[in-house]
Structure 1
Amino acid sequence: MATNDDLKNQLQNQQPQQVSASSLGFKALMNTPTMKKKFEDILHEKSDSFMGSLMTLVSGDDYLSKAEPMTIIAGAMKAATMDLPIDKNLGYAYIVPFNRSEKVGDRWIKHNEAQFILGYKGYIQLAQRSGQYKSLNALEIYEGQLTSWNPLTEEFIFSYENKTSDEVIGYVGYFELLNGFKKTVYWTKNEIEAHRIKNNKAKDKTSLSGAWRDNYNAMAIKTVLRSLLSKWGILSVEMQTAITSDERVFKQAEDGSVIEELSINDESIKDAEIIEETEEQSEQGEA
């Protein structure tokens, strides 16, 4: 697998000799002609604004700024190929810091990398671009709103006005294609929790971490939408890429032109988790 040093050496060879490879951190890599051209090839006239938003994102996140630079850039390029903004306030796509331990020989090496996460708005955006959807939506169901749900016939009856509390009991997703095909899925809160715990990479599987901790409902809605669209929706090339790329760590090949997927489910990987420590905990760990 290509390493960061491989790409740094390649980029250094294209730079004036006074620039050393060791000095090529994230900001320096972003300023190389090679990297600028890669984003220009993908985004054309949008490249400058996208690269600017990426620089702002990294500079404003202490943990992300410490991640391996090429995993940040590779994740951002994945978002760029889908033409999705990475501003976390918009909710389309995210680049988040991620801890991973990899077995190299007889030793476990810890990496601080960046993970690409697609937001539920990203899934909606990609579905809309296909031009095949008449309607598409997903939302929370609160206590008192659900009247009945038949998983076999998909008959879903609820009353929005009958909300009796702020307790969310489930999440529903629905779409109708232009050809008349309709699909409804409903996940109970318990089903969402079982899915979250099963896929939680933290040591404590039941703990809320990362995006699940910060915006539980948005992640639950995304889970429903991803299941709905991947099983029953129109799988355009963009949507297939989105589904297979979501919540992955990416590297780049030696020539810098091919993005390689690094599966966090690989047997050589353990203790993978979104970075959660506070500044106080970090200082204690360094003491």
Structure 2
Amino acid sequence: MATNSSLKGKLTTTGKNANQVQASSLPLKDLLGTPTMKKKFEELMNDRAPQYITSIINLYNSETSLQKCEPMSVVSSAMVAATLDLPVDKNLGYAWIVPYGNKAQFQLGYKGYIQLALRSAQYRYINVTPIHEGELIKWNPLTEEIEIDFEARASDAVIGYAAYFELLNGFRKTIYWTKEQVEKHRKKFSKSDFGWKNDWDAMAMKTVLKSLLSKWGILSIEMQKAVVEDNDEREIKDITSESQNGYNGAIEAEVVVAEDIPMDEPTPTEKQPEGKEDDELDKVAEQFDKGLI
């Protein structure tokens, strides 16, 4: 037999679900205007939150294909861009909100990768560029010796893309993909032609630069998150409920470690008194959840 407390619990749960469905079914502009959404963007963007929300609405209104997507998926994608502090204006090329059927997904542009790399303060040079017919003199994929003469361009036809970076410690890496290699990669991994139809060169440069950085670059925590989120198979999450701190995901990458700092064992005087270790761990966990460490 149901008790008063169990019935109350069921009613509370039903009420929460009803509110969540109601929020999820709101039009985009109304959804962004809810107190929950405003608070989340204010936490990420501070005083720039109203301007950022306006840019999301402008993007949505200018893209018919996005208007066919679930508003919640558009907001979820925009929230990822806001977390990385990147604009969603498609003309800037830092981050895109791309439709996949009736859902939108976040995609990082090549300028976004460069911006995140520069923020890490580990890169002296980083660039990616299209190579036109007549410009490529020599390319050795084993030694990574590349010779380009940009003055020798024979036509505007693009034959490939080159990406390069040099770290502050002197480590350098260069890769070159032919246009055919990029197209093969696109057919194998891309779930949508939306970005490729709008700006093939920008998507190609992003693909080559992402390959370079994810395999050989120094990846800050921010860049690791960007690489994980920039994934066609990323699950769209409902962010009207309380979001979890952190993210679950991993990338396969050869990371260049800036330095290896050994961790010494604590001396007896440094060790925590018996019975206080759990309290210290709880404090550390609380600080981590709050983003203080």
Name the TM-score, length of structure 2 as normaliser. 0.74
Structure 1 position 260, deviation (Å): 10
SS class of match (2:212) = helix
Structure 1 position 45, deviation (Å): 1.3
Structure 2 letter corresponding to 1:151: P
Counterpart position of 1:223: 207
Q: Any residues of structure 2 matched to 1:258-269 within 5 Å, and which?
A: 258=244
Q: Deviations over 1:216-255 (max 9, x none)?
A: 1111110110001111111101110111111445212672
Counterpart position of 1:127: 117
Matched, 1:197 2:197: no
Matched, 1:255 2:241: yes
Change (3 A) 1:28 1:73: same
**Structure 2 unpaired stretches of 5+:** 1-13, 250-293
Runs of 4+ displaced beyond 4 Å: 5-8, 20-23, 259-263
Structure 1 position 62, deviation (Å): 2.4
Counterpart position of 1:64: 66
Measured in 2, the distance between the counterparts of 1:180 and 1:6 equals 59
Work out whether residues 39 and 47 of structure 1, in 8 Å CA contact, stay in contact via their aligned partners in 2. yes
- Percent identity reads 52
Work out whether residues 165 and 172 of structure 2, in 8 Å CA contact, stay in contact via their aligned partners in 1. yes
Name the TM-score, length of structure 1 as normaliser. 0.75
Counterpart position of 2:139: 149
Matched residue count: 234
Counterpart position of 1:82: 84
Q: Deviations over 1:10-38 (max 9, x none)?
A: 458xxxxxxx6686222221111111001
Change (3 A) 1:61 1:258: farther
Measured in 2, the distance between the counterparts of 1:230 and 1:6 equals 45
Structure 2 letter corresponding to 1:77: M
State the Cα RMSD in Å: 2.6
Structure 1 position 262, deviation (Å): 12
Measured in 2, the distance between the counterparts of 1:54 and 1:6 equals 30
Counterpart position of 2:46: 44
Measured in 1, the distance between the counterparts of 2:97 and 2:208 equals 21
Structure 1 position 63, deviation (Å): 2.4
Change (3 A) 1:215 1:262: farther
Counterpart position of 2:166: 176
Structure 2 letter corresponding to 1:234: I
Instruction: Report which stretch shifted further, 87-96 or 63-72.
Output: 63-72
Measured in 1, the distance between the counterparts of 2:211 and 2:158 equals 19
Measured in 2, the distance between the counterparts of 1:57 and 1:231 equals 33
Change (3 A) 1:249 1:56: farther
Measured in 1, the distance between the counterparts of 2:107 and 2:243 equals 21
Counterpart position of 2:253: none
Measured in 2, the distance between the counterparts of 1:232 and 1:195 equals 19
Work out whether residues 100 and 191 of structure 2, in 8 Å CA contact, stay in contact via their aligned partners in 1. no
Q: Any residues of structure 2 matched to 1:150-165 within 5 Å, and which?
A: 150-165=140-155
Measured in 2, the distance between the counterparts of 1:254 and 1:88 equals 25
Measured in 2, the distance between the counterparts of 1:89 and 1:22 equals 28
Counterpart position of 2:269: none
Counterpart position of 2:287: none
SS class of match (1:63) = helix
Work out whether residues 105 and 236 of structure 2, in 8 Å CA contact, stay in contact via their aligned partners in 1. yes
Q: Which has the larger radius of gyration?
A: 2
Measured in 2, the distance between the counterparts of 1:218 and 1:125 equals 15
Structure with the largest fraction of strand: 1
The higher relative CO (CA closer than 8 Å, separation ≥ 6) is in 1
Structure 1 position 261, deviation (Å): 8.8
Measured in 2, the distance between the counterparts of 1:259 and 1:69 equals 23
**Structure 1 unpaired stretches of 5+:** 13-19, 100-111, 203-208, 264-287
Measured in 2, the distance between the counterparts of 1:83 and 1:35 equals 16
Structure 2 letter corresponding to 1:72: V
Change (3 A) 1:153 1:258: same
Instruction: Report which stretch shifted further, 246-255 or 186-195.
Output: 246-255
Change (3 A) 1:9 1:84: farther
Structure with the largest fraction of helix: 2
